[in-house]
C-alpha cells in the first residue's frame, strides 16, 4: 500500500498537471483571503464568507474517484447525461441543491423574492423619474459590454449573459445566463457574485476619481422625501408586476417574485414577512455555499473564464461611471441641490451601493445623510436591470 | 465586424425599449399616486 493513499487530498496534487496544481493552491489561498475580507467586512460578508470558505474547501477536497479520475464530493455542474446525473445526485452532497434550485433558476427567484421583502419603495415612489434617470445611466455597462463581448469572440447569447453583470444584480445574472448561455452559467454566476462583493471595495476609488470633494459634500434633506402610504406601494407592486410580466413574459418569474415580495411587505402579513426574512438569509447562504463549491480548478481552467473576468469588471466599472455621470447631470440640472453620489447607488446591488454613497459622503462631512435619497435610485436600479434582463432574454434569441 | 454591428444594434434597441419600459413604470407610479391622493381627499371631505 502506498503511504499517499492515506492522504488522497495531498496525493491528488502529485497526480495533477503542475499548472492545475498551482492554480488549485491559488484558489485555496484566494478562498481564505475572501473569508478574511468578508470577516473584516472589507467585502460583503454575506457572500464572501460562504463563497470563500467553500471555494477553499472544494479545492482542498479533491480526491481520486472511480476509474482513477480526480473529482470532489461537492457538485459536478457539467454532468447532463441522465444515468450519470442520477449517480452524481447520489454521490455529490450539493448536487441535488444545484440541479433542483440552480439549474432551473429557482434560487435566483427565491433571492429576488427575499430582496422584494426588504425593499423600501418610499424613496423610489417619491421621486420616480429622478431615480429611473439615474438607474438608466447606471446601465451603461449592461449596454456597452454586449458589443464589446461580441468583438472579443463571444456569441450574442453569451455576450448578453456577460453584459447583464453591469446591472449588478446577482439573481438577474443567474437568470439570464441560464436562459441564454447555460454552458457558461457557472463562470458567469461565480464571477458576478464575487464582483458584487468587490463593488463594496472598488467603487469608493471610482467616486474619488470622478466626483470633486465639494460636490460630494452637497447636503440633502432626508425629511423632504414625502411619506408614501403602504396602499400606494402595494398597488404599485401589483400593477408593475402584472404590466412588466405582460411586456416581458420570459422574465415574468423574476418580476413575479420581486413584486410579490414587495406586496407581502406592504400588505403587512406578519407571518409571510417573517418567512421572507428567513428565505432571503437561507437562499443567500446556500447560494454562496454552492457557488463556492462550483469554483473548483476545473471550472477556472475554462479558457473563456479569463475573458469573462475582464468583461465583468469592465461592465461594472462602466455602470459605475454611467451612474456617477448621470448623478453629475442631475446635480447640474437641479442647480446643485442633488448630491451626485446618489448616482452610484443606481448600480443596483441593494443596499451595498447606497451604503457606499453614504460612506463616501460621510468621509467629506460626517453630518451628511444621503442614504434615504440614495435608496430611490438603488431600487430603480433593480427594476431597470430586471427590465433589461427581460429585453435581452426576449430580444437576443431573435437575432 | 458584422456581428459587432448586430450587437450594437441590439444594445441600442435594448436601451430604447428599456427607456420606454421605465417611462411606463414612472407613469404607473404617477397614476397610482393620483388615484390614492384623490381617494384620500374624498375621505377627508366626507
pLDDT tens, residue by residue, A5-62 = 778 888 888 888 888 889 899 999 999 998 998 898 877 788 888 989 999 999 988 8
Whether residue B11 and residue A129 make contact (CB cut-off 8 A), yes or no, is no
Domain count, chain A: 2
Closest CA to A237 of A270, A266, A275: A266
| A97 occurs within a structural domain | no
What share of chain A in percent tops pLDDT 70? 98
The pLDDT of residue A353: 86
Structural domain containing residue A123: 105-398
Q: Considering only CB atoms, which chain A residues are within 8 Å of B35?
A: 235
Contact A245, A255 (CB under 8 A): yes
For residue A140, pLDDT over 90 is answered with yes
Who has greater pLDDT, A127 or A7?
Answer: A127
The pLDDT of residue B44: 64
Chain A to chain B, count of Cβ pairs less than 8 Å apart?
Answer: 92
Q: What is the pLDDT of residues A281-312, one digit of tens each?
A: 999 898 888 888 888 887 777 778 888 888 88
DSSP B1-46: -HHHHHHHHHHHHHHHHHHHHHHHHHHHHHHHHHHHHHHHHHHHH-
pLDDT band at A197 (very low <50, low <70, confident <90, very high): low
What share of chain A in percent tops pLDDT 90? 29
**Shortest CA distance from A386: residue in chain B:** B18
For residue B46, pLDDT over 70 is answered with no
Closest CA to A34 of A288, A354, A348: A288
| Any B CB within 8 A of A392 CB | yes
| Inter-axis angle of helices A305-333 and A185-210, nearest 10 | 40
Q: Are A168 and A50 in a shared domain? A: no
| Any A CB within 8 A of B16 CB | no
Q: What is the pLDDT of residues A152-177, one digit of tens each?
A: 989 999 999 999 988 888 888 888 88
Q: Considering only CB atoms, which chain A residues are within 8 Å of B8?
A: 146-147
List, in order, residues 6 or more apart from B3 with CB less than 8 Å away.
A150, A156
DSSP class of A375? H
Q: Are A330 and A216 in a shared domain? A: yes
| A89 occurs within a structural domain | no
- CA-based end-to-end distance of chain B: 68
DSSP A75-89: --TT--SHHHHHHHH
| A337 occurs within a structural domain | yes
| Any A CB within 8 A of B7 CB | yes
Cα gap A153→A4, rounded to integer Å: 44
| Any B CB within 8 A of A236 CB | yes
| A94 occurs within a structural domain | no
Helix or strand (DSSP H, E) at A315: helix A305-333
C-alpha A380: how far from its chain's center? 16
Q: Considering only CB atoms, which chain B residues are within 8 Å of A240?
A: 25, 28
Cα gap A198→A48, rounded to integer Å: 9
| A133 occurs within a structural domain | yes
A contact test, residue of B20, B29, B35, B41 with most A CBs within 10 A: B29
pLDDT band at A349 (very low <50, low <70, confident <90, very high): confident
| Any A CB within 8 A of B30 CB | yes
Cα gap A101→A86, rounded to integer Å: 16
The pLDDT of residue B43: 64
Q: Are A141 and A278 in a shared domain? A: yes
**ipTM reported for the complex, 2 dp:** 0.89
Closest CA to A385 of A136, A179, A182, A185: A136
Q: Considering only CB atoms, which chain B residues are within 8 Å of A230?
A: none
Q: What is the pLDDT of residues A81-117, one digit of tens each?
A: 888 888 888 888 888 888 888 878 888 889 889 988 8
Mean pLDDT, all residues of chain A: 87
For residue A263, pLDDT over 80 is answered with yes
B40–chain A nearest CA distance, Å: 10
Cβ-count burial A75-111 (b if 16+ within 10 Å, e if not): bbbebeeeeeeeebeebbebbebbbebbeebebbbbb
C-alpha A293: how far from its chain's center? 17
| A200 occurs within a structural domain | yes
Domain count, chain B: 1
A139–chain B nearest CA distance, Å: 9
The pLDDT of residue A187: 81
| Any B CB within 8 A of A389 CB | no
Structural domain containing residue B45: 1-46
Which set of grid coordinates corresponds to residue A126? 417619491
Average pLDDT, stretch A368-385? 89
Q: Are A66 and A116 in a shared domain? A: no
Which set of grid coordinates corresponds to residue A6? 492515506
Cα gap A224→A246, rounded to integer Å: 35
Whether residue A136 and residue B18 make contact (CB cut-off 8 A), yes or no, is yes
Amino acid at each position: 500500500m502506498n503511504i499517499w493513499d492515506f492522504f488522497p487530498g495531498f496525493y491528488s496534487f502529485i497526480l495533477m498537471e503542475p499548472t492545475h496544481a498551482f492554480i488549485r493552491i491559488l484558489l485555496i489561498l484566494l478562498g481564505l483571503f475572501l473569508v478574511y475580507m468578508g470577516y473584516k467586512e472589507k467585502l460583503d460578508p454575506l457572500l464572501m464568507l460562504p463563497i470563500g470558505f467553500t471555494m477553499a474547501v472544494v479545492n482542498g477536497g479533491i480526491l481520486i474517484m472511480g476509474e482513477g479520475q480526480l473529482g470532489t464530493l461537492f457538485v459536478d455542474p457539467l454532468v447532463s447525461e441522465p444515468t450519470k446525473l442520477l449517480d452524481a445526485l447520489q454521490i455529490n452532497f450539493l448536487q441535488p441543491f444545484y440541479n433542483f434550485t440552480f439549474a432551473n433558476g429557482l434560487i435566483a427567484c427565491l433571492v429576488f423574492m427575499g430582496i422584494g421583502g426588504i425593499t423600501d419603495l418610499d424613496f423610489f415612489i417619491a421621486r420616480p423619474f429622478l431615480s429611473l434617470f439615474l438607474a438608466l445611466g447606471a446601465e451603461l455597462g449592461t449596454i456597452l459590454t454586449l458589443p464589446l463581448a461580441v468583438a472579443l469572440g463571444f456569441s450574442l447569447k453569451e455576450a448578453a449573459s456577460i453584459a447583464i453583470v453591469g446591472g449588478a444584480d446577482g439573481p438577474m445574472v443567474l437568470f439570464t445566463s441560464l436562459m441564454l448561455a447555460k454552458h457558461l452559467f457557472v463562470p458567469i454566476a461565480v464571477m458576478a457574485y464575487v464582483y458584487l462583493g468587490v463593488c463594496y471595495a472598488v467603487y469608493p476609488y471610482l467616486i474619488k476619481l470622478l466626483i470633486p470633494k465639494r460636490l460630494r459634500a452637497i447636503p440633502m434633506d432626508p425629511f423632504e422625501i414625502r411619506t408614501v402610504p403602504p396602499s400606494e406601494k402595494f398597488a404599485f407592486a401589483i400593477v408593475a408586476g402584472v404590466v412588466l410580466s405582460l411586456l416581458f413574459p420570459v422574465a415574468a418569474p423574476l418580476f413575479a417574485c420581486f413584486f410579490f415580495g414587495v406586496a407581502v411587505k406592504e400588505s403587512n402579513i406578519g407571518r409571510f414577512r417573517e418567512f421572507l426574512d428567513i428565505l432571503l438569509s437561507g437562499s443567500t447562504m446556500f447560494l454562496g455555499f454552492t457557488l463556492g463549491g462550483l469554483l473548483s480548478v476545473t471550472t477556472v481552467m475554462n479558457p473563456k473564464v479569463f475573458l469573462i473576468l475582464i468583461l465583468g469588471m469592465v461592465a461594472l466599472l462602466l455602470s459605475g461611471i454611467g451612474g456617477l455621470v448621470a448623478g453629475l447631470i442631475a446635480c447640474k440640472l437641479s442647480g446643485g441641490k442633488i448630491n451626485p453620489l446618489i448616482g452610484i447607488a443606481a448600480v443596483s446591488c441593494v443596499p451595498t451601493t447606497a451604503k457606499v454613497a453614504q460612506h463616501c459622503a460621510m468621509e467629506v462631512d460626517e453630518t451628511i445623510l444621503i442614504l434615504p435619497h440614495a435608496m430611490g435610485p438603488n431600487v430603480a436600479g433593480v427594476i431597470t436591470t430586471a427590465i433589461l434582463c427581460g429585453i435581452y432574454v426576449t430580444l437576443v434569441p431573435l437575432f | 465586424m458584422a456581428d459587432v454591428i448586430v450587437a450594437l444594434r441590439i444594445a441600442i434597441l435594448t436601451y430604447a425599449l428599456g427607456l420606454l419600459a421605465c417611462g411606463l413604470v414612472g407613469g404607473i407610479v404617477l397614476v397610482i399616486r393620483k388615484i390614492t391622493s384623490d381617494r384620500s381627499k374624498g375621505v377627508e371631505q366626507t
